[in-house]
C-alpha cells in the first residue's frame, strides 16, 4: 500500500486529520494507495507557507524562475518511465499513452511557460508627447489550482507552470481520484531548487480541500478544470469575494463530417477523437454528424476501425483503451448507455462493461460504444458522458448541422471535415465553441487560447492568456 502525503513548505507531511481516503488502481478495481483526507486546516498551513515564501519568490528575476521551471521539467523527463507507470496505475489509461502524451505534455507545459514568460512584454500607450501610459504586471500572490482526474499531471502542470512562472505561490489540489503523479512532483521540485512553500500540494476531497481553497480569503485566484457543476459551485463562492477565476469545464463536442471530406483520414481521426483516453478528454468528439449521402459508408468504415481498438490491460501495448478512472464514473457511463436505449437509440457496437482476463478481472472497463437512431436534442446528445460512447446522427444541409452542433449548453471544441476551403471557414466561424479543428483533432499549439464558451467555461488558458491571468495589471499614467 503506497501512502501519499501532502507537500507543504517543501516537506511531505501527514494530513492534520491523520485520515486517509482509498486510492484505487482502476484496471485492477482494487485499493492500492492511501490518499490524505485533508481539510481546511491543511489548507491553512499551506497558505501560511505560501505567504511566507511569496516575498522571496516574487522578487526573483524572470530568468531565475524560468531556470527553476526548466529544471523541474528536466526532472520529470529524467523519470519519464516512473511517472508514466504511476499515471497509468492511478488513472487506468494505457501505459503507451501516458508515455506518448501525458508525461511528455507535462514536461512541455513547464518548458513552454518557462520560456514564454521571458517574452511577455508590458504595454505602452502614448496619448501625445506629454502623456504616456505603461502597464506594470505583478504576481497576484497566493493562487489556487484545482485539477481533474482525466489527464492528471498534464492538467496539473498546465495550471501551476504559468502561475509559478509569473512569481505567484501556489496551493494546488489534484483530483483525489488520481493524486499519485502530483505527489511525486514535490520531490522533483525540491531537487530542482524550488524554494520551500512556493508550491504546496494538498490532497483530499473537493468538498473539503477544494472548497476550503475557494473560500480562503488569502487565495486570490482560482484556476479550475473539472465538471460544469463544480465550476458553478466555485463561482458561487468565489465571485462575491471578487477572486479571479479561470474555469475550464465540460464539453459535448460535435464532429461535422461533410461528404466532400478526405474519407479515410476522416474515419481515422474521428475514431481517435472519440475514444482516446477512453473518451475521458473534455475535447473528445462524441456527437458525430455525418452528411446523409455518406452516412452508411462512414458508419461501416467507422465501426470496422473501432473494432480494432482493443480494450485491455493498460500495461499491454496492444490495449488501445484502458480502464475507466473510477467505479463511480464507470457506473455513470453505463447508466448513460442504459438511458440511450430508453431514449430509443440502437447500440450498434459495444454497449457494456468488458471483462478483461488475468490481473484485470475486477477492473472497470467499458467497450467503445456506438449508438445511432437518436435525435440531436435527446439527453444522450445534450449531456456530457465523458466516456467511450458516441452517437452517429445524419444530416442533409450545412444549416441543419450547424443548428444541431450548436444545440447543447456546452461550447468547448468542434471538428469539421471537408476539403472545401470556403465551407471549412464558413462553418468554423459559426461554431459556438472556443476551439475549431478542421481536418484534424487535438493538434495543440501551446501558444493558442484554450477554453470554451457557454457552460464550457470562463476565460482562456494557454499562451500569454494564462500568464496574464496569473498577474495583476497596473496602469501608470505619466504627464511630463
Pairing of strands 346-349, 369-372: antiparallel
Please work out the total of residues on this chain that contact ligand TXE, with binding judged by CB under 6 A. Answer: 25
Query: Which cell goes with 250?
Result: 465540460
Near ligand TXE by CB under 6 A: residue from 66, 89, 150, 255: 150
Backbone torsions φ then ψ of 140, nearest 5 degrees: -70, -35
How far apart CA 245 and CA 232 sit, in angstroms, is 11
Q: Among the options 248, 280, 372, 461, which is catalytic?
A: 248
Give the number of residues written for the chain.
480
Near ligand TXE by CB under 6 A: residue from 167, 206, 451, 462: 206
Q: Do the Cβ atoms of 25 and 90 come closer than 8 Å?
A: yes
Question: Is 465 among the catalytic positions?
Answer: no
Residue 455 is a binding residue for ligand TXE (CB under 6 A): no
**Nearest residue to ligand TXE, using CB?**
206
Near ligand TXE by CB under 6 A: residue from 225, 246, 291, 408: 225
How far apart CA 155 and CA 31 sit, in angstroms, is 24
Could you tell me the smallest distance in angstroms from the CB atom of residue 71 to ligand TXE? 27
For 166, which DSSP code? T
Q: Among the options 169, 189, 261, 282, which is catalytic?
A: 282
Terminus-to-terminus CA distance in the chain, angstroms?
Answer: 68
Q: Which is nearer to ligand TXE, 280 or 372 (CB)?
A: 280
Q: Which positions from 165 to 204 touch ligand TXE by CB under 6 A, shown as an x/- string?
A: --------x-xx----------------------------
Near ligand TXE by CB under 6 A: residue from 157, 214, 276, 277: 214
Question: Is 284 among the catalytic positions?
Answer: no
Q: Which is nearer to ligand TXE, 4 or 401 (CB)?
A: 4
Backbone torsions φ then ψ of 337, nearest 5 degrees: -65, -40
Q: Which is nearer to ligand TXE, 87 or 313 (CB)?
A: 87
Torsion of CA 350, 351, 353, 358, to 10 degrees: -10
How far apart CA 377 and CA 290 sit, in angstroms, is 16
Subset of 405-434 contacting ligand TXE (CB under 6 A): none
As beta bridge partners, residue 413 has 435
Subset of 310-339 contacting ligand TXE (CB under 6 A): 329
- 69 burial class (0-12, 13-18, 19+ CB within 10 angstroms)? buried
Question: Cell numbers 480562503 correspond to what residue?
Answer: 216
Which strand (E) or helix (H) includes residue 286? strand 285-291
Report the 10 Å Cβ neighbour count for 43.
29
| Nearest to 288, CA basis, from 367, 369, 366 | 369
Q: Do the Cβ atoms of 369 and 398 come closer than 8 Å?
A: no
Stretch that binds ligand TXE, among 11-19, 74-82, 144-152, 194-202 (CB under 6 A): 144-152
Subset of 366-395 contacting ligand TXE (CB under 6 A): 384, 386
Q: Which is nearer to ligand TXE, 264 or 328 (CB)?
A: 328
Near ligand TXE by CB under 6 A: residue from 50, 91, 190, 230: 230
Near ligand TXE by CB under 6 A: residue from 249, 371, 427, 431: 249
Q: Which is nearer to ligand TXE, 207 or 338 (CB)?
A: 207
Question: Cell numbers 517543501 correspond to what residue?
Answer: 10
How far apart CA 249 and CA 228 sit, in angstroms, is 5
Residue 207 is a binding residue for ligand TXE (CB under 6 A): yes
Residue 234 is a binding residue for ligand TXE (CB under 6 A): yes
Could you tell me the smallest distance in angstroms from the CB atom of residue 146 to ligand TXE? 5
Near ligand TXE by CB under 6 A: residue from 233, 260, 343, 398: 233
Subset of 266-295 contacting ligand TXE (CB under 6 A): 282
Could you tell me the smallest distance in angstroms from the CB atom of residue 442 to ligand TXE? 13
As beta bridge partners, residue 135 has 475
For 373, which DSSP code? S
How far apart CA 257 and CA 189 sit, in angstroms, is 45
Could you tell me the smallest distance in angstroms from the CB atom of residue 177 to ligand TXE? 7
Near ligand TXE by CB under 6 A: residue from 15, 92, 250, 350: 250
- Rule CB under 6 A: which residues touch ligand TXE? 146-148, 150, 173, 175-176, 206-207, 210-211, 214, 225-227, 230, 233-234, 248-250, 282, 329, 384, 386
Which active-site residues does the annotation give? 248, 282
Amino acid at each position: 500500500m503506497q501512502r501519499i502525503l501532502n507537500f507543504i513548505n517543501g516537506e511531505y507531511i501527514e494530513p492534520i486529520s491523520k485520515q486517509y481516503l482509498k486510492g484505487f488502481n482502476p484496471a485492477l478495481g482494487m485499493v492500492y494507495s492511501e490518499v490524505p483526507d485533508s481539510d481546511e486546516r491543511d489548507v491553512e498551513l499551506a497558505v501560511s507557507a505560501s505567504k511566507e515564501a511569496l516575498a522571496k519568490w516574487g522578487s526573483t528575476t524572470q530568468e531565475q524562475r524560468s531556470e527553476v521551471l526548466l529544471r523541474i521539467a528536466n526532472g520529470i523527463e529524467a523519470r519519464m518511465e516512473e511517472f508514466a507507470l504511476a499515471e497509468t496505475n492511478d488513472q487506468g489509461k494505457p501505459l503507451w499513452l501516458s508515455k506518448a502524451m501525458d508525461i511528455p505534455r507535462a514536461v512541455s507545459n513547464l518548458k513552454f511557460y518557462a520560456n514564454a514568460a521571458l517574452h511577455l512584454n508590458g504595454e505602452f500607450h502614448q496619448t501625445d508627447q506629454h502623456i504616456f501610459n505603461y502597464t506594470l504586471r505583478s504576481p497576484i500572490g497566493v493562487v489556487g489550482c484545482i485539477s481533474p482526474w482525466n489527464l492528471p499531471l498534464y492538467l496539473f502542470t498546465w495550471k501551476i507552470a504559468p502561475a509559478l512562472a509569473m512569481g505567484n505561490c501556489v496551493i494546488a489540489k489534484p483530483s483525489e481520484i488520481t493524486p499519485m503523479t502530483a505527489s511525486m512532483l514535490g520531490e522533483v521540485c525540491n531537487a530542482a531548487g524550488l524554494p520551500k512553500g512556493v508550491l504546496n500540494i494538498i490532497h483530499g476531497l473537493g468538498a473539503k480541500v477544494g472548497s476550503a481553497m475557494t473560500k480562503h480569503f488569502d487565495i486570490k485566484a482560482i484556476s479550475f478544470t473539472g465538471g460544469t457543476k463544480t465550476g458553478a459551485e466555485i463561482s458561487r463562492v468565489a465571485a462575491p469575494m471578487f477572486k479571479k477565476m479561470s474555469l475550464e469545464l465540460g464539453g459535448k463536442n460535435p464532429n461535422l463530417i461533410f461528404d466532400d471530406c478526405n474519407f479515410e483520414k476522416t474515419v481515422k481521426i474521428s475514431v481517435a477523437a472519440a475514444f482516446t483516453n477512453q473518451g475521458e478528454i473534455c475535447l473528445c468528439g462524441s456527437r458525430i454528424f455525418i452528411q446523409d449521402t455518406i452516412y452508411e459508408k462512414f458508419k461501416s468504415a467507422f465501426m470496422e476501425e473501432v473494432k480494432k481498438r482493443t480494450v485491455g490491460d493498460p500495461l499491454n501495448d496492444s490495449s488501445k483503451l484502458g480502464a475507466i478512472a473510477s467505479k463511480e464514473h464507470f457506473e455513470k457511463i453505463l447508466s448513460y448507455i442504459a438511458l440511450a436505449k430508453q431514449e430509443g437509440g440502437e447500440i450498434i457496437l459495444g454497449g457494456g462493461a468488458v471483462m478483461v482476463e488475468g490481473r484485470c478481472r475486477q477492473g472497470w472497463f467499458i467497450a467503445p460504444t456506438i449508438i445511432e437512431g437518436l435525435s440531436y436534442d435527446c439527453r444522450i446528445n445534450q449531456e456530457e458522458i465523458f466516456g467511450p460512447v458516441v452517437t452517429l446522427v445524419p444530416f442533409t444541409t450545412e444549416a441543419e448541422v450547424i443548428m444541431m452542433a450548436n444545440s447543447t449548453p456546452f461550447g468547448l471544441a468542434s471538428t469539421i471535415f471537408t476539403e472545401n476551403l470556403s465551407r471549412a471557414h464558413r462553418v468554423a466561424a459559426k461554431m459556438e465553441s472556443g476551439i475549431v479543428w478542421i481536418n484534424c483533432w487535438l493538434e495543440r499549439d501551446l501558444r493558442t487560447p484554450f477554453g470554451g464558451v457557454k457552460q464550457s467555461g470562463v476565460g482562456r488558458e494557454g499562451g500569454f492568456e494564462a500568464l496574464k491571468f496569473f498577474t495583476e495589471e497596473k496602469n501608470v499614467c505619466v504627464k511630463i
